[in-house]
Amino acid sequence: MKKFIIILSMVYSLSSQAQNTKIAVLKEFISDIINFEGKTLNEDQPIISINSMARETAAEVIIITRENINLALIEAKTFKHCLIISNHHTLIRILNIEDCSPSNLWGTSMPLSRAYIQKNGTLHKKKDHLNNLIGRPDSQVRTMYLFN
């Protein structure tokens, strides 16, 4: 029984460290855009918390659809930073709005971006063009946040 309790406490400790690491990674990823001072993130789904903070501090918020993504990307060129959150599980930051790749599914050229995708509680870092990070146009909610 004593061994079981020790193993259980070790697993809990490692899980807690993983959550803190996930939060630290996401904070570092966008620390020049969002001020996290005095704010806490949801430990299980920090992207949900970031979504709320971005909505509060963004200069402009655009819900992305296939019909408006081209105009949204043109608008993004006039801002210093652009974040996109897809369905509360993917946090995307546009790296280079000029380095684009055409997307037939979205009907426009998509910029080079970096993302953290949360699957099964784990963050996965990816660098690719936006269309490969947000997937096919469908009913998922994709929100663009623009910051000066």
Mean pLDDT of 126-146: 95
| C-alpha angle 86-78-123 in degrees, rounded to nearest 5 | 25
Contact criterion met (CB below 8 Å) for 109 and 130: no
Mean of per-residue pLDDT scores for the chain: 88
Per-domain boundaries in the chain = 2-147
pLDDT at 88: 87
- Mean pLDDT within 48-55: 94
- Look at residue 39 in the predicted model and tell me its pLDDT: 84
* Residue 65: CB atoms within 10 Å: 12
At 1 the pLDDT is: 64
Which stretches does DSSP call E strand in 25-136? 60-64, 81-86, 90-103, 108-119, 122-129
Which whole number is the average pLDDT over 78-105? 95
* Overall average pLDDT of the 37-65 stretch: 92
